C-alpha cells in the first residue's frame, strides 16, 4: 500500500476508534515526560525489585511450573490464554531472561501491562503461567508490533507460541480497526524463522548492524562527568535534542532521506514511521536523543541552504496533548490550529539549518537483572557516516548519560547503525573509550519484518 493510500485510509477510519485526548491517556504509566535527571534513583529501586524476584520468588514459581509439568498436556483445551495482569509479574519473570542480560521486561512489565496501546497475554496451564506475548501499537494506531515472546523451557514445542500468536492476531483484527501493518523485529540468530515469516506475508523492510559491548565500572577510560570530556579532540558540538527538534526533522523533506533513508526509525527494536504521533514514545522517561550539525557547509553540495519549503511555520504541535490523533497524516496545519506556532528554542534545530543536521542518535536505557542496558541507535548523513569526530562526540554524550543514570553498576551498550556506516569506524571509536569486551553469543544484525493487515 502506498503512503498516500495509507493517508486516505487513516482519514476514513478515524471515526471507528475511540481516541484518547488527555495528556494522561497519551502518557501512560512508565512513559511520563522527563522533567529532570532523576532516573538513577528509580532505576536502582527497579533493580532491587528484580533481585527480589530472583532471590525470594524464584523457588516458589519454579515449583509451580514443575507441578504443571507433572500433568501431560493432552490437548489445546488444557491451555488458557488470557490478558496478562499485574499480579502475573513474578510468574512471567520466572520464564527467564530471553535476551542474554538485556531483557527490558524485568524493568517494564508493571507499566506495559497497564498501557492502553499494549495487549499483553499469558498462557496458563493448571493455574501456572507458562508463556507470555504482547503487542504494542504505534504510528497513531496504524502499526501493531508483536514482541517479548517467551515460553517456559519445558513447555516449548507444544504449540503454545502459535496459540498466543493467534490470539494476538485475533485481537488486532477485532480491536485495532486502524491497523494497516503488523511488524515483528528479530535478529540473525533466528534466521531459521525467516521462511516462516515470509510464508505469513511478512517482508523484510529494515536491516541494521548491532554491537553489544560490556561497560565496566573498572574502565578508567570511560567519562565520568562533563569535566572528563576533552573538547580539544573534536570540533563537533553535540546537542541534546528536544521534541520540537525531532518534529522539524520529520517535516523536512530535504533532511529525511539523508538521515533516515529507510523512511523510518528502527529504535530499540521498534520500527517507527517518521510521524509526530511517535514523538512522545521516543522522548519518554528513559529515552531521548542527541544531534550534531555539519560544520563544513560546502560539504553539503547541492543540498538547499534556504529554509525547507515543505516546513510549515504554523505546523500543528498538538501531538503534545493527544488531540492531533483526530487528524489526517497530511493535515497537520488545519484551520482550527493555525495559531499554534512551532517554537524553535535557542540552540535547537530551525527551519533554516535543518539541512545541516549530520548525525542523530537516540537512546533508551533501563535496569536489568544484572546491571543496566543503554540502547544507542545511530543515524548519519553521507558526510557524517565516515566522520570519527561525529561518532566520538555522540559516544561521549551517551556514555555520560549512562553513567549519570547508573553510577554504581556495570552495564551493556547496545549500539545499532545502518549498513552503510563502516564497522571499523564504530569499533575504533569504541576502542578510544576502552570499550573492547563483546557480549558473548551476540547477534550481528537486527531485522524488521512487516506485512499488511489486509484492511482497506
pLDDT in tens, the chain (456 residues): 544 444 454 444 443 333 333 333 333 333 322 323 333 344 444 444 444 444 444 444 455 555 554 444 434 458 999 999 999 999 999 997 666 667 889 889 999 999 999 999 999 999 999 999 999 999 999 999 999 999 999 999 999 999 999 999 999 999 999 999 999 999 887 777 788 888 999 999 999 999 999 999 999 998 877 655 655 555 689 999 999 999 999 999 989 999 999 999 999 999 999 999 999 999 998 899 999 998 765 545 444 444 444 444 434 333 333 333 333 333 332 222 222 223 333 468 998 899 999 999 999 999 987 899 999 999 999 989 889 999 999 999 999 999 999 999 999 999 999 999 999 999 999 999 999 999 887 889 999 999 999 765
The domain over range 208-449 is classified in CATH as 3.40.630.30: yes
212, 444 Cβ separation under 8 angstroms: no
Per-position DSSP letters for 5-67, written without gaps between them? HHHHHHHHHGGGS----SHHHHS-TT-----SS-HHHHHHHHHHHHHHIIIIIHHHHHHHHHH
Question: Per-residue pLDDT tens for 354-381?
Answer: 999 999 999 999 998 789 999 999 999 9
pLDDT at site 319: 34
Q: What letter would DSSP give residue 328?
A: -
- Cα(261)–Cα(109) distance, integer angstroms: 33
pLDDT at site 256: 93
Residue found under cell 533513508: 261
- Cα(11)–Cα(3) distance, integer angstroms: 12
pLDDT at site 378: 98
Task: Tell how strand 287-293 and strand 264-267 pair up.
Answer: unpaired
pTM here is 0.74
Q: Give the three cell numbers for residue 368.
A: 536489568
pLDDT at site 62: 52
pLDDT at site 86: 96
- Where exactly are the structural domains of the chain? 13-23+39-179, 208-449
pLDDT at site 440: 83
- Which H or E run contains 150? strand 143-151
pLDDT at site 348: 86
- List of residues 6+ apart from 220 with CB closer than 8 A: 434
pLDDT at site 67: 52
- Cα(92)–Cα(94) distance, integer angstroms: 5
The domain over range 13-23+39-179 is classified in CATH as 3.40.630.30: yes
pLDDT at site 233: 56
Question: Alpha-carbon torsion 53, 57, 63, 68, what sign?
Answer: negative
- List of residues 6+ apart from 33 with CB closer than 8 A: 27, 283, 284, 285
pLDDT at site 47: 45
- Cα(56)–Cα(246) distance, integer angstroms: 44
CA dihedral 247, 249, 250, 251 (to 10 degrees): 90
CA angle 434, 436, 440 (to 5 degrees): 150
Q: What letter would DSSP give residue 187?
A: E
Which whole-number Å values give the CA distances from 282 to 335, 354, 447, in the listed order?
A: 28, 20, 19
Which whole-number Å values give the CA distances from 223 to 310, 375, 390, 411, in the listed order?
A: 40, 17, 17, 14
Question: Per-residue pLDDT tens for 156-195?
Answer: 999 999 999 999 999 999 999 999 999 999 988 777 778 8
Residue found under cell 482497506: 456
Q: Which of 390, 311, 394 is nearest to 355 (CA)?
A: 311
- Residues 25-61 as b/e (b if ≥16 CB within 10 A, e otherwise) read ebbbebbeeeeeeebbeebbebbebbeebeeeeeeeb
Q: Give the three cell numbers for residue 389.
A: 569526530
Question: Alpha-carbon torsion 139, 141, 145, 148, what sign?
Answer: positive
Same fold, 13-23+39-179 and 208-449: yes
Q: How many helices (H) and strands (E) does the chain have?
A: 13, 14
Amino acid at each position: 500500500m502506498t503512503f498516500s493510500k495509507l493517508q486516505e485510509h487513516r482519514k476514513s477510519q478515524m471515526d471507528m476508534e475511540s481516541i484518547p485526548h488527555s495528556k494522561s491517556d497519551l502518557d501512560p504509566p512508565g512513559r511520563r515526560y522527563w522533567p529532570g535527571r532523576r532516573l538513577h534513583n528509580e532505576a536502582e529501586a527497579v533493580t532491587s525489585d528484580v533481585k527480589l524476584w530472583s532471590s525470594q520468588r524464584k523457588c516458589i514459581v519454579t515449583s509451580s511450573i514443575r507441578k504443571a509439568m507433572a500433568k501431560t498436556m493432552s490437548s489445546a483445551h488444557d491451555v488458557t490464554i488470557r490478558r496478562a495482569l499485574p499480579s502475573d509479574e513474578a510468574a512471567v519473570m520466572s520464564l527467564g531472561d530471553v535476551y542474554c542480560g538485556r531483557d527490558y521486561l524485568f524493568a517494564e512489565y508493571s507499566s506495559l501491562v497497564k498501557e492502553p496501546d499494549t495487549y499483553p497475554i499469558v498462557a496458563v496451564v493448571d493455574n501456572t503461567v507458562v508463556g507470555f506475548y504482547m503487542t504494542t501499537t504505534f504510528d497513531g494506531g496504524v502499526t501493531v508490533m508483536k514482541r517479548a515472546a517467551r515460553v517456559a523451557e519445558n513447555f516449548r514445542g507444544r504449540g503454545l507460541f502459535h496459540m498466543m500468536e493467534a490470539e494476538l492476531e485475533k485481537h488486532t483484527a477485532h480491536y485495532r480497526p486502524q491497523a494497516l501493518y503488523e511488524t515483528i523485529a528479530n535478529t540473525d540468530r533466528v534466521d531459521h524463522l525467516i521462511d516462516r515469516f515470509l510464508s505469513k506475508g511478512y517482508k523484510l523492510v529494515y536491516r541494521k548492524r548491532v554491537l553489544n559491548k560490556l561497560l565496566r565500572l573498572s574502565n578508567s577510560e570511560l567519562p565520568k562527568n562533563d569535566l572528563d570530556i576533552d573538547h580539544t579532540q573534536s570540533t563537533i558540538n553535540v546537542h541534546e535534542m528536544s521534541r520540537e527538534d525531532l518534529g522539524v526533522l520529520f517535516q523536512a523533506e530535504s533532511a529525511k532521506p539523508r538521515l533516515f533513508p529507510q523512511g523510518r526509525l528502527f529504535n530499540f527494536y521498534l520500527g517507527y514511521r517518521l510521524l509526530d504521533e511517535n514523538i512522545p514514545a521516543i522522548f519518554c522517561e528513559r529515552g531521548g536523543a542527541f544531534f550534531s550539525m555539519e560544520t563544513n557547509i560546502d560539504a553539503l553540495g547541492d543540498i538547499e541552504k534556504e529554509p525547507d519549503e515543505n516546513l510549515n511555520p504554523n505546523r500543528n504541535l498538538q501531538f503534545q496533548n493527544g488531540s492531533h490523533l483526530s487528524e489526517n497524516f497530511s493535515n497537520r496545519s488545519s484551520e482550527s490550529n493555525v495559531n499554534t506556532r512551532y517554537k524553535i528554542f535557542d540552540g535547537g534545530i530551525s527551519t533554516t539549518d535543518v539541512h545541516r543536521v549530520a548525525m542523530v542518535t537516540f537512546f533508551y536505557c533501563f535496569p536489568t537483572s544484572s546491571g543496566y542496558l543503554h540502547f544507542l541507535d545511530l543515524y548519519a548523513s553521507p558526510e557524517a557516516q565516515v566522520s570519527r569526530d561525529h561518532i566520538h562526540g555522540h559516544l561521549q554524550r551517551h556514555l555520560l548519560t549512562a553513567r549519570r543514570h547508573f553510577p554504581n553498576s556495570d552495564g551493556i551498550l547496545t549500539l545499532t547503525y545502518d549498513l552503510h556506516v563502516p564497522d571499523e569506524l564504530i569499533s575504533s571509536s569504541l576502542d578510544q573509550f576502552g570499550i573492547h569486551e563483546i557480549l558473548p553469543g551476540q547477534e550481528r544484525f537486527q531485522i524488521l519484518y512487516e506485512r499488511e493487515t489486509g484492511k482497506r
